[in-house]
Chain A
Amino acid sequence: MLPYLGYLLLLLLSKPLRAKEVVYDFNVTWVTANPDGLADRKVVGINGQWPLPVIEVDKGDQLVVNMYNGLGDKSTSIHFHGMYQNGTNEMDGASMVTQCPVAPGSSITYNFTVNQNGTYWYHCHTDYCYPDGYRQALIVHDNNSYFANEYEEEFTVTLSDWYHELAEDIKPEFMSVYNPTGAEPIPNSWLFNDTQGMSLSVKPNTTYLLRLVNIAAFTAQYFYIEDHNFTIVEIDGVYTEPTEANLLYVAVAQRYSVLLTTKDTADKNYAIVTVVDSTLLDTITPDLQLNHTNWLEYDASATKPQANITVAESSDLSPFDDATLIPYDHMPLLENPTVTVNVAVVMDNLDNGKGYAFLNDISYTAPKVPTLYSVMSAGDLATDATVYGDFTHTQVVDHMDIVEIILNNNDTGSHPFHLHGHVFQVVDRYPPYGSDFFEFADAGIPQPYDPNNHSAFPAYPPRRDTIVVPPAGYVVLRFRADNPGVWIFHCHIDWHLMQGLAMTFVEAPLMIQEKLTIPADHYAACVASDVEHEGNAAGNTVDLLDLSGQNQQPGWIPDGFTTRGIVSMVFTVLSAILGMGSIVLYGLSDLKHAKKPETQAEVSGQGVQGGQDDEYQD
């Protein structure tokens, strides 16, 4: 009896520790900020502050975020990037996927259990709002991690690009007939922890945990510390076998945790170097500063020299290949996929002249009803992908399917793809990180994945939630559909998401209907935003298979002559013929003037001419 009592006591005592509730009240308003010292701009602040607060919870906590939209002119939402939201799909925060946009003056509460660990971030997921500053790190501490006792202190480092214009003001120039190549807007500067030229103060001979998060809208950055190696222990919330590295390529939305042991002596400060992946930038003006130095500060009084960057091009750097990492839990390769999704990234123009991004031939176009709400209102038809519309690119999968995504890249740029609600196994990627990574960036001949001819899959593939697809290369990803919900799979370059580079997974829709209850305030957000929350993608509640009126991508550019072309061609030819007819008429009427010269020729030419006349007649 006594041991039982002790156990019960322990359980009672430990329970509040394990399951504490962490509440954040976010009043979202516009504030002014100037993090790069170049220009004041309007940014999205929380409770009047920017940079935004880092959300910190312990593994197992209940996270509650009460958000009030005080922006006044713009809808918003929060996506907790990397959170599996298993059983709480409605809290995923992606507008028109799992919720309605939260209109100005409305509130919404996100409430979910954080049963995972590691480095994450949160950001707005409504249209294109997070480049306006609405993004920050989210840290889930875990005292039971295998490396918990190996470090003394931890730092969170966010990397970001920075625009001086509001995304809504950039959009008209980006999505424009005058930007046919879809050249992405070039950031004005880059930030390190939402500032520049900062120092991380360290003691000698000490180990630190460095959490790197790329919270940028567009650009990946290389990261290294002069004369220091570090040990990778986590990627995107998944612990890895400790792996030594000295150079990382951190794409948008990716995270790395590294253990950094400082030097024995403290007489010198070392540069923490970030180098923007310049292959992403179409035009680089001379004033653009792509390399940045921050410092690992051993001695505050010592000099802080600017890093000496020896490579001419960022692509000359050869970063650590994340596809070679091994998860600490040694989860084996998922064999025998039951569903294979084979899609290719394509960039093209549609008939409004603007540049769009496609997976195969679909440019994701948000439905009229958030897809999750379509699931909830579709009954048995929820398993029919038709319900979700022709332009959400929806793939319905069953519970516990092994899903394989073959993602080919027909574009010559790299794309960091992110799947909500899951980490996927990276089973193959070509070309790998390193000197060959940009091999096809210029030649542009896509190298599609061949299931019958590929490199051997690793026994314990790395898992992450954001993976970079190489230029004109491919990745092959696998995940187990163990998380009923609606999950969007998209390129995390926000400009590409704007162009429609996304698709939707509807996972075990009938289980979603069983397990999920949409909170009243979520539906209320729809009413406030004037967005329908019932019916299929077209908002049709009667006939769920009738998609008339659904949101559509613009039409394809016709190749060759359309009716209008033929009609105008006919008129063109006709007017040319008539015009020439009039010339002929005019020409022939000149013959009346010809009499005189003719008689004159008779006089002057005399006898010579008779014989030669015939010769020239034909």
Chain B
Amino acid sequence: MANVFAVQVFFILFRECLEAVIIVSVLLSFLKQSLGQPHQDQAIYRRLRRQVWAGSITGIVCCLIIGGAFIGVFYGLGHDIWSNAEQLWEGIFYLIATIIVTVMGLALLRINKTKEQWRIKIAKALVEKNKHGKKSRLLGNWARRYAMFLLPFITTMREGVEAVVFVGGVSLGYPATAFPLPVFTGMVAGLTCGYLIYRGGNVLSIQLFLIASTCVLYLIAAGMFSKSIWDLQYYVFQMRVGSDVAEEGSGAGSYNILQTVWHVNCCNAETDNGWDVFNAILGWENTGTYGSVISYNVYWIFIMLCVAYMLWEERSGRKSLRERMLVVMAKVPGLSWYAKPKLAVLQENPEDIVRQVHSGLFNEEPVVEQQMVEMK
């Protein structure tokens, strides 16, 4: 199963697609609020809406092309080298994947918050566009004319490339056959979920769905973390034994008995059918080593501590860890380009920007919605 369906890939695609959908939906609702009212020019509204769709879809297509090339190059250059020391690389890649999934996973549960942040981000971008547009008339006019195309285009492409890099990092241990299915299903699930959110489906049931999938995501991450430790330990064992380990199958000698907490002479994730599913989702190995068992527990404890901290952070209204990290990063020369815009979004007064957007974006149009925004 792991050779056909890389579960991590599914979740990354799911999350990135959801995010893309949210961007598009936020844009669409802006348009709707600003221009989509019955008394306004429906032609302009439809044109801009088409632009949003065109931009998003072009962005996704571009990122697919870039991503495809990226993964192709990764595989073409590296996979043979990595497969020679399978356990070592698997261990390292699982470790990287665990870190990626862990960092981005909990954000999935702040989907409503994320949506809000995107609203601000986009609004801010629109305001910026308006300001800078004056510098070059030609470019300014063009950018203004196609703002509703460029914005979703750039954001979806950026999110997409991010997804591709994550997928690449997470899945180098897998054969190429493990990609198509999770990529496809992940996208479908992400788009569906995003659509439900856009249509304003039952917030609770959507949230429950997200919670459930996050739980699965973290189960996978814990398993991957445990498995990465297992792989690294096994690699060391294998190095010392030599090639003989593979000869032993599941039996005695196929594992280091001195590090073993349990061992069953069956259910080998590498060789026995069905158990690779457990391996992919829960990190099952037919040998539990001290390293793998302890790391699995430690991972969950770490997650619990993180959650506790973040909840405390939210409730106490302190600067979030993310914000503080961004502040630090903004001071590092190489990283400031990345950190500053994100920081700006966080630090800006959200209501201000949104108001600016509604009042200033299409200033030839009458400001109808302003009152409504203010009421919130």
The residues of A with any CB-CB pair to B shorter than 8 Å are 177-181, 183, 282-283, 348-349, 351-353, 355, 557-562, 564-566, 568-569, 571-572, 575-576, 578-580, 582-591, 593-594, 596-605, 609, 612-613, 615-618
Contact = CB atoms under 8 A, between A and B. Distances in A.
Interface in B195-209: 196-197, 199-208
B204 A591 contact: yes
Contacts of B261: 564-565, 568
Given A601-B200, A604-B36, 7 more contacts: A183-B244, A578-B300, A579-B299, A580-B218, A586-B106, A616-B205, A617-B205
Contacts of A179: 241, 244
B229 to A, nearest CB: 13
Residue of A177, A283, A585, A590 ringed by the most chain B CB atoms within 10 A = A590
Contacts of B130: none
A616 B199 contact: yes
A604 B115 contact: no
B211 interface: yes
Interface size class of B (residues with CB under 8 A): 35 or more
Residue of A349, A558, A586, A605 ringed by the most chain B CB atoms within 10 A = A586
4 nearest interchain CB pairs? A180-B253, A565-B262, A601-B200, A616-B201
Contacts of B314: 589
19 contacts: A180-B248, A349-B257, A557-B252, A562-B262, A564-B261, A564-B262, A566-B262, A579-B222, A583-B214, A583-B218, A583-B303, A593-B110, A593-B116, A600-B33, A601-B199, A601-B200, A604-B29, A612-B199, A615-B201
Contact of A561 (B208, B257, B264): B264
A588 B211 contact: yes
Given A568-B293, A590-B110, A604-B29, A613 B303 contact: no
Contacts of B241: 178-180
Contacts of B204: 591
Interface stretch (B79-87, B154-162, B268-276, B304-312): B304-312
Contact of B262 (A355, A561, A615): A561
B304 A590 contact: no
B240 A576 contact: no
Contacts of A180: 241, 244-245, 248, 252-254
B372 interface: yes
B111 interface: yes
B301 A575 contact: yes
B32 interface: yes
Residue of B109, B200, B237 ringed by the most chain A CB atoms within 10 A = B200
A589 B311 contact: yes
A613 B120 CA distance: 26
A283 B311 CA distance: 59
Interface of B: 28-29, 32-33, 36, 106, 109-113, 115-116, 196-197, 199-208, 210-211, 214-215, 218-219, 222, 237, 240-242, 244-245, 247-248, 252-254, 256-258, 261-265, 288, 293, 296-297, 299-301, 303-304, 307-308, 310-311, 314, 372, 376
A510 B374 CA distance: 111
A593 B113 contact: yes
Nearest to A595: B112
Contacts of B201: 612-613, 615-617
B199 A609 contact: yes
B321 to A, nearest CB: 14
A602 B199 CA distance: 10
Nearest to B215: A580
Nearest to B204: A591
A591 B112 contact: yes
A582 B303 contact: yes
B202 to A, nearest CB: 4
Nearest to B109: A587
A586 B307 contact: yes
Contacts of B257: 177, 349, 351-353, 557
B205 A618 contact: yes
Contacts of B200: 597-598, 601-602, 605, 609, 613
A588 B300 contact: no
Nearest to A181: B244
B244 A587 contact: no
A181 B247 contact: yes
B264 A559 contact: yes
Contacts of B197: 597
A576 B300 contact: yes
Given A183-B244, A351-B257, A572-B297, A616 B203 contact: no
Given A584-B215, A587-B211, A613-B200, A565 B297 contact: no
A575 B282 CA distance: 13
B303 A572 contact: no
A123 B260 CA distance: 41
A556 B228 CA distance: 29
B296 A594 contact: no
A351 B256 CA distance: 10
B376 A559 contact: no
B61 to A, nearest CB: 27
Nearest to B265: A559
A81 B241 CA distance: 36
Given A180-B252, A580-B215, A569 B307 contact: no
Contacts of A618: 205
A560 B264 CA distance: 4
Contacts of B111: 590
Contacts of B210: 587
B33 A603 contact: yes
Residue of A353, A583, A588 ringed by the most chain B CB atoms within 10 A = A583
B376 A353 contact: no
Contacts of A348: 252
Contacts of B264: 559-561
B203 A591 contact: yes
A177 B242 CA distance: 12
Contact of A586 (B109, B240, B293): B109
Contacts of A564: 261-262
Contacts of A609: 199-200
B33 A604 contact: yes
A583 B109 contact: yes
B207 A599 contact: no
A605 B108 CA distance: 24
A616 B196 contact: yes
B205 A177 contact: no
Contacts of A349: 252-253, 257
B120 to A, nearest CB: 11
Nearest to A584: B211
Given A565-B288, A589-B314, A597-B115, A616 B252 contact: no
Contacts of A580: 215, 218-219
Contacts of A583: 106, 109, 211, 214-215, 218, 303, 307
A283 B240 CA distance: 15
Contact of B218 (A351, A579, A590, A615): A579
Residue of A571, A575, A597, A602 ringed by the most chain B CB atoms within 10 A = A597
Nearest to B350: A596
B113 A575 contact: no
B151 to A, nearest CB: 18
A584 B207 CA distance: 10
B69 to A, nearest CB: 35
A571 B36 CA distance: 56
A177 to B, nearest CB: 6
A353 B310 CA distance: 45
A555 to B, nearest CB: 11
Contacts of B196: 616
B211 A178 contact: no
Contacts of A587: 109, 207-208, 210-211, 214
Contacts of A582: 303-304, 307-308
Residue of B211, B256, B308, B311 ringed by the most chain A CB atoms within 10 A = B211
A583 B101 CA distance: 14
Contacts of A590: 109-113, 207
A568 B226 CA distance: 13
A613 B214 CA distance: 24
